Amino acid sequence: MKLITAIIKPFKLDDVKTALTELGLGGITVTEARGFGRQRGHTEVYRGTEYNVDYVPKVCVEVLVDDDDALRFADAIVEAARTGQIGDGKVWITQVETVIRVRTGEMGSDAI
């Protein structure tokens, strides 16, 4: 099993959810997140003084999938979240040892 983690622009969340649902998404976890990448945030002016917005608001999406589905799902996220502008975010895939469904105690693929 794999864990797909995606950091995306908040307004792209609906597009990502729609795309994943079409692929038969089992479940999704969404967290509000803030951070920066290579641009180191951006600059604004407040009452005549410049300041950095260091930590740009993002959404963190986490999806658990079977090994075979991982790339398809990750690609779908990348396609749905892309605007072509800076700050589109990142997607990464990590190996997951096991998964347990809390209510039934099912393990592994059955729990996804």
Residue 83 to residue 45: CA distance in whole angstroms: 25
Q: For residues 54 and 110, which CB has a smaller minimum distance to other proteins in the complex?
A: 54
Structure tokens at 50: 């410049």
Residues in region 8-67 near other proteins by CB under 8 A: 34, 36, 40-41, 43-55, 57
Q: Cα-Cα-Cα-Cα dihedral of 99, 64, 70, 22, to 10°?
A: 140
| 3-class DSSP state of 19 | helix
* Nearest-approach distance from CB 39 to other proteins, in angstroms: 11
* Nearest-approach distance from CB 2 to other proteins, in angstroms: 31
From 41, 16, 22, select the one nearest 91 (Cα to Cα). 16
* Nearest-approach distance from CB 32 to other proteins, in angstroms: 11
Binding site for other proteins (CB under 8 A): 34, 36, 40-41, 43-55, 57
